[in-house]
Structure 1
């Protein structure tokens, strides 16, 4: 019994913020002193490295579970199924529901339980739980669902990834320009048709790497240390990802017995355009090749980095025809990959 995606959905918030939105920001170093560049230069360098021109923010009355529920409802409708037939509802996130203007995370009850409630699912045998695995959380949720289905304890699962990073970013930290909000979801079910998930691998590096992404104080020292924001050691993450993610992708592909020439698309976490390009180039060099044109669709330029939401959102945009330069055809091999807080890495090979 294999596992196939039978429906997808995404929730892309309506509020757009271009890079010009940050022109009047006062960005500071970790020590609280101003950066030695003009804000215009900071934004220009940021765009050149990350590729981000716009990002989306949730509306003031929305939280992560709202975005997740909207994406999940679209996925269920796309699959054309009765939501009561879902055996597992997995919600991948990292920061819970953080309301606009608040610094407190709310994750009780779980976001998965809230989404199940919003979908109106009454079946108690639909087990709803949250998954915290950094940015690779949605792919890890797919790996969980695959295990449930292959073991025979589930027939159908709903896997959601959602986040509101704008609510946990430090306005005085230039990295705040990276973060965005959104959600994506898929419905998967068991299938005897060849294809679906072919292989996967995951890894957690938890020595010095565990602190590469963390919760820390604002760069504005007057804000005190009680309120925490998402922080990262960008250079160390870049070096870590460039050395470890291609290895995981190759391990996953080799496990599936797939030739690299047969890979049609690589859907990688939309973390940083330059980093993602370097990862994919390094991956192909492991096979003595250069990446073919169009192999790596990118959404980060207009949507920013929405953590666990980036990969399922990207999948849905292609599946629904919203990215006309990219498409999925029956039999295509798709390689999913992600890296994030933990530091966690995973990859999954999938045949459409």
Structure 2
């Protein structure tokens, strides 16, 4: 028995928010003081660091569970399965359903429950639950699905990553330009085919790193002190990721017994273009070998950082030949890797 991803689907919102839209924002420092630079310069420096030129925002009447439902429908269709045969629905997110022009998270009932309801699944033995694991949530959901299947508790699971980060950003914070909305979904099941999940690795660094990402006040001191927004210490996250993500990827690859030369694609969480490029360099440096051409597909330039949705969305795009110069073929070994709030890190080595 092998455990494979037999279906994928993603939902990329239609609304495009280009960098130019931020030229009229009032960006402030954390102490509330005015940044001594024109917005055009702020935005250009942001693009040079992150690689982001545009991002996607959900339609006003859609929530995270809606986006997850749209992606789930596609994954179910791609796998050609009856949704009533699903044993688990695992949904990774960070803030639940946040309605447009509000800041309050709604997670009762769980997003997994809402998506199961939208899929009109009658089977009560299809267990629906959420996972809060920061940006690595979808990867961890796949690891959990594998554990259920290995333990004989399931044969088929639906794992979704969905988020509407555009609704929890502080518009006075330059970091608000990073975040976006979207969803990715996968069917994970036991098969008799070759390949599948070869190894996985997870770690939680909480002693000093727990609050690198957190909920905090707006940079604008005149706004309501009781309202919180997503905040992060970008420099510490960058240094943490560069030190720890390559090590986790190497530990996972070594555990799989696969040689570095066999890796065809690396799907890294789309958080920051320069950070991901640096992670890749350090990973291959650990093996004292050169980086292959086109090994790391990127979607952040056009889609921004949709947290738990970036890795499954990127995988779905490449799988369906929708990302220029990137494709995967049967038998290819790929790595999924992510890092995020917690601080959590994880990786999966997978044979397609």
Q: What band does the TM-score fall into relative to the shorter chain?
A: over 0.9
Question: In structure 2, what is the equivalent of residue 56 of structure 1?
Answer: 56
Partner SS, residue 328 of structure 2: coil
Does residue 77 of the first structure (1) align with residue 67 of the second (2)? no
Partner of 1:283: helix, strand, or coil?
Answer: helix
Give secondary structure in 2 for the equivalent of 1:207: coil
Give 5+ residue unaligned stretches, structure 2: none
Tell me which residue corresponds to 1:237.
237
1:141 to partner: Cα distance: 0.1
SS at match of 2:218: coil
- For residues 60-105 of structure 1, give each alpha carbon's deviation from its aligned partner in whole angstroms, at most 9, with x where no partner exists: 0000000000000000011110000000000000100000011110
- Quote the residue 1:303 is aligned against: 303
Instruction: Give the aligned partner of residue 284 of structure 1.
Output: 284
Q: Distance in 2 between matches of 1:217 and 1:289?
A: 45
Residues 31-84 of structure 1: CA deviation (Å, up to 9, x unaligned): 000112211111010000000011000000000000000000000011110000
Q: Distance in 2 between matches of 1:307 and 1:146?
A: 22
Q: TM-score scaled by structure 2?
A: 0.99
Q: What is the DSSP-based 3-state SS (H/G/I as helix, E as strand, rest coil) of the residue aligned with 2:109? A: coil
8 Å CA contact 1:2, 1:149 repeated in 2: no
| Equivalent pairs, count | 352
Equivalents in 1 of 2:342, 2:200: separation in Å? 18
1:136 pairs with 2:136: yes
For residues 103-158 of structure 1, the C-alpha deviation after alignment (integer angstroms, 9 at most, x for no partner) is: 11000000000000000101000000000000000000000001111111111000
2:175 partner SS: helix
What is the TM-score with the length of structure 1 in the denominator?
Answer: 0.99
Matched, 1:195 2:188: no
- Distance in 2 (CA, whole Å) between partners of 1:191 and 1:76 is 16
- Structure 1 residue runs of 5 or longer lacking an equivalent are none
Matched-pair contact (CA < 8 Å) for 1:266–1:336: yes
For 1:217-228, list aligned pairs within 5 A: 217-228=217-228
| The 10-residue stretch of structure 1 (271-280 or 314-323) with the greater mean CA deviation from structure 2 | 314-323
Please name the residue that 1:275 is paired with.
275
The Cα shift of 1:291 comes to: 1.3
1:4-24 CA-partner distances (Å, limit 9, x unpaired): 111110010000011001001
